[in-house]
Amino acid sequence: MSELAEALYRHLLSLLPPGRHPRKGGAADGMVGMLGALEASAVEEALALFRQALPQHAEGVFLEEVGRGRGLSRFQGELEAAFRNRVVQALRFWLLAGTLPGVRMWLEAAGYDSFIHEHFRDDPSIWAEFSVFLWPKISQYIADRWDEGGVWDDATYWDFTPHATEPYRVLALMREVKPAHAKVRSVYYIAGPRDAWDEGGAWDDGGAWNPEPIRIA
């Protein structure tokens, strides 16, 4: 008998009038014990279902149902942990969707550091276009890399290959959050240290940049 079943069994006994408690081990006592176990099972099942209604704890189809209720669907190849993080942050997302801060926030929620370059800064005639540079923070996004242990090495030049689903998933993320009038010109993927990047829009002249970015869209 579980601790909860034991507690409910004792609670049921306490509801009986004084002097009417069944004999320990008798048939009536067994029935009270069975009722306590059934009530405990119902409570445990209800608690388990309640956990599945919370995105922080939901799994599998339950998480997908919670996501649909918040206006989100799981992308092809998206890790459950990444989808859960998006569902948890859905309210912030809908408040910021269609804005530059929203794009940054949504990429971070999906597991990326990012830099977004708006091309109107270089040419006003392409005011609606932007490019995105991504640094994956989740090791499973990389299908093949120099160090399978996941430790970056600034001094070593190495190659990498994004997972096959990454181009589709990244573009789906962009379509979900970008302004309706905006167009993604290109997406670059960089499996290396984020702090080596110069956010002024150029490579850092103070040292070598490893690895080179890959254009995935």
**What would the pLDDT profile of 168-206 be if each residue is shown by its tens digit?**
888 888 888 888 888 889 999 887 666 655 444 444 444
Same domain membership, residue 188 and residue 88 = yes
Residue 165: pLDDT band with limits 50, 70, 90:
confident
Is there a domain that residue 75 lies in?
no
Average pLDDT over residues 81-86: 89
Domain count, the chain: 2
Element housing 117 (H / E): strand 112-118
Same domain membership, residue 198 and residue 130 = yes
Is there a domain that residue 22 lies in?
yes
Same domain membership, residue 27 and residue 124 = no
Is there a domain that residue 73 lies in?
no
Same domain membership, residue 115 and residue 45 = no
The first and second tokens of residue 45, run together, are 């099942």
**What would the pLDDT profile of 19-54 be if each residue is shown by its tens digit?**
777 778 788 878 878 887 888 788 777 776 667 778
> Of 16, 36, 53, which one is at a domain's C-terminal end?
53
Alpha helices in the chain (DSSP H): 3-14, 27-52, 60-69, 80-88, 90-96, 100-109, 166-177
Same domain membership, residue 171 and residue 130 = yes
Same domain membership, residue 33 and residue 100 = no
- In which domain, by residue range, is 110 found? 80-215
Same domain membership, residue 153 and residue 109 = yes
3-class DSSP state of 162: strand
Predicted structure pTM score: 0.64
Is there a domain that residue 151 lies in?
yes
Task: Select, from the ranges 14-28, 32-46, 65-79, 141-155, the one with the highest average predicted confidence (pLDDT).
Answer: 65-79
Same domain membership, residue 122 and residue 29 = no
Same domain membership, residue 85 and residue 45 = no
Same domain membership, residue 107 and residue 21 = no
